[in-house]
Amino acid sequence: MIRRPLLEQVRHSHKMPTWNKNPHLDKIIRVDHAGELGADRIYAGQMAVLGNTAEGPTIKHMWEQEIKHRERFEQLINEYRVRPTLLTPIWNVAGFALGAGTALLGKEAAMACTVAVETVIVDHYNDQLRTLMEDPNIDKEILKTITKFRDEEQEHHDTGIDHGAEQAPFYKALTEVIKAGCKAAIAISKRV
């Protein structure tokens, strides 16, 4: 009797998710989990500084959506058995520091941070959606999740613009530095 490899036996006997249908899915879930954790912490930092101001309810609304995004990717990490990035503790601290630090510069700088982060995230999600759409065995649930979250991130971007982001001191320089940091965090989180 020829025996199948152990992983193949387990996969057939327990109906494990077939995350190997799309070779990009591991990286997508890992990096999105890291990004949503970072976003959660950015808004937590902004709330710590601006929570009792006129901007508090707006920031709280965006934060509540980010918490739901993070929770969903935590479910996907477990469901698809994806290893989270090893840099989770760093993104936790860095996200809070970025949110609180920009908020300490004023509500406009906090909103500029939101615009910068969400610009990168919307582009990132659009790239992922294109990658997923190329797969004939597309995971429709993940596609739906990323599409919904992308739309909410776009809403956050637009909210930042509507709440004075472009009036932040050194807006262009501030947003470009934050965008570069976000892009670096994405690249690192895919691998580490």
- The pLDDT tens digits for 135-169 are 878 788 899 999 999 999 999 999 999 999 999 98
On average, the pLDDT of the chain sits at: 88
pLDDT tier for residue 7 given thresholds of 50, 70 and 90? very low
Phi-psi region of 84 (alpha: psi -120 to 50; beta: other; left: phi over 0): beta
Per-residue pLDDT for 186 more than 80?
Answer: yes
Residues with Cβ within 8 Å of 164's Cβ and at least 6 positions away in sequence, in order, are 107, 108, 111
- The pLDDT tens digits for 49-83 are 999 999 999 999 999 999 999 999 999 999 989 88
Q: What is the pLDDT of residue 119?
A: 96
Q: What is the pLDDT of residue 24?
A: 78
pLDDT tier for residue 134 given thresholds of 50, 70 and 90? confident
Q: What is the pLDDT of residue 22?
A: 54
Poorest-confidence range of 18-32, 72-86, 87-101, 132-146?
A: 18-32
Domain boundaries, the chain: 24-191
